[in-house]
Amino acid sequence: MKTLMIQGTTSDAGKSTLVAALCRVFVKRGIKVAPFKPQNMALNSAVTKEGGEIGRAQALQAIAAKVEPQNDFNPILLKPNSDTEAQVIVHGKAISNMEAGTYHNYKQVAMDAVLASHKRLAKQFDLLLVEGAGSPAEINLRENDIANMGYAEAVGCPVIIIADIDKGGVFAHLVGTLALLSESEQARVKGFVINRFRGDISLLQSGLDWLERYTKKPVLGVLPYLHDLALDAEDAVAIDNKVTTATINIAVLLLPHISNHTDFDALRLHPNININYVRHTHAIPPVDLIIIPGSKNVLGDLSFVKNEGWDTQIKRHIRYGGKVLGICGGMQMLGNSIADPMGVESSLKRVKGLALSDFDTTLSTQKVLTKVTAAMQLNNLQTPCSGYEIHAGISVGAALNKPFIIFNAHPHGFENDGFISDDNAIAGTYLHGLFDEPAATLQILKWVKSDAAIQPVSIVAHREQQLERLATMCEAHLNIQHITSICEGDNNDGYK
């Protein structure tokens, strides 16, 4: 198996997007390709075919490569539940929470898991396109590195470095990054890609020529700034979706530990839906629907909601005829209480819920991870839907006797999920990805506003269009032939 690694000068340089684009470019050329990220830190995750958990970016890259997401595509996933602690997920399964210092000492074990995944993938694929994490030049993280050059040195793969010119200082970023690498690591770098350029390329040419002379490394392409590019985000919440002709207005509470905010991408992309992400210190505006999203630290985020005064504002919203939807951790907040006796997510043992529905939740060390098909019970209809579950909580109580979701079949034997309040104003579900289904989205929008005559966006079709757009752009602006030769080991300074 050939392996090529994409590293970046900074976070958000474009590594995830370039790997996704190259996955699509090479699969269109008949190459059996897979994405890979040795170590990922993100709260946005996806469920694999094995019932494991990987980063959202690798799931998107798998779609670009036209393969089913699997655990080995992201062997180490870190999901922060505080500023200093994260849940460590190895080969799709959570093993424990670790403080930063503890995890640093664990990295050798983590590297063994990374190399085991690499070895298994080598038996399945012709080409592995690997995404680094952050920057390879973080001096304090170089020891026992598994995310960037530590991995590249271990498997002996070539590296391309990408930098974002839109941030400014692109030449300093590239030259400085290269200078902070060891001699063997510098030799492993086979070229540069400059991302998000806008303007006249001829005005950049003198800088490109200088960069090649100074570093003796080729510039493999300059990618233009793609306006309105919208793909599944790994970390940052995309909030620039204000519309001028909104039929439905939605508020999503921007929790400190919000997870799987990609749940709302299909809504965010709709030209007649306005989503307002309500930030710290901001009041919830007048809207048709308030969504409480998932959270990686539900008890902590529930306390945050109360401190912001959002609990009072949610109750006022309901009194004035508004709807409320809780998803996963957001649903748990709607109940009477949430208990975490084992310290799964935080040191808080028990927090009183918003008491908007009669049930209680207890977190356990056993996480539910599964994809499901089901029927959504809403508007006196049963609408086929599908989605995925990622949660450590089990909820019980009278409110759940009127479920929101009826499963076709469930690996854990559950028959139903969530609830609808007796007054039809509040709903909750553990199911992520509901809005990815146009038919289910339509029923939810009708529940929110019965006279809303809008057709939902198909996020699947939109994602596919964006991936094709990316691939076409890369084929036009990158030296794919040179990149292919790097993958093949040609002009590779002895590295294979």
Active site residues: 328, 432
Task: Tell me how far apart the terminal alpha carbons of the chain are, to the nearest angstrom.
Answer: 10
Query: Which 3 state secondary structure label does DSSP give 5?
Result: strand
Taking residue 201's Cβ as centre, other Cβ atoms within 10 Å add up to: 12
Q: Are 278 and 252 in contact (CB under 8 A)?
A: yes
Distance CA 334, CA 357 (A): 6
How is residue 159 written in tokens? Answer: 């590296």
Please give the single-letter amino acid code of residue 39. Q
Taking residue 14's Cβ as centre, other Cβ atoms within 10 Å add up to: 21
- DSSP character string of 382-440: EEEEEEEEEEEEEEESGGGGS-SEEES--TT---EE-EE-TTSSEEEES-B-GGGSHHH
Distance CA 438, CA 267 (A): 10
Greatest extent of the chain over all pairs of C-alpha atoms, in Å: 72
Q: How far is CA 399 from CA 328, 355, 412, in A?
A: 15, 11, 21
Q: How far is CA 274 from CA 104, 230, 247, 290, in A?
A: 42, 16, 8, 12
**CB neighbour class for 495 (10 Å; exposed up to 12, middle 13-18, buried from 19):** middle
Residue 276, strand partner residues: 251
Task: Give the pairing of strands 360-378 and 337-339.
Answer: parallel
Choose among 162, 63, 26, 8: nearest CA to 484: 26
What sign results for the dihedral spanned by CA atoms 142, 144, 150, 156? Answer: positive
Number of H helices, E strands in the chain: 14, 26
Please give the single-letter amino acid code of residue 271. P
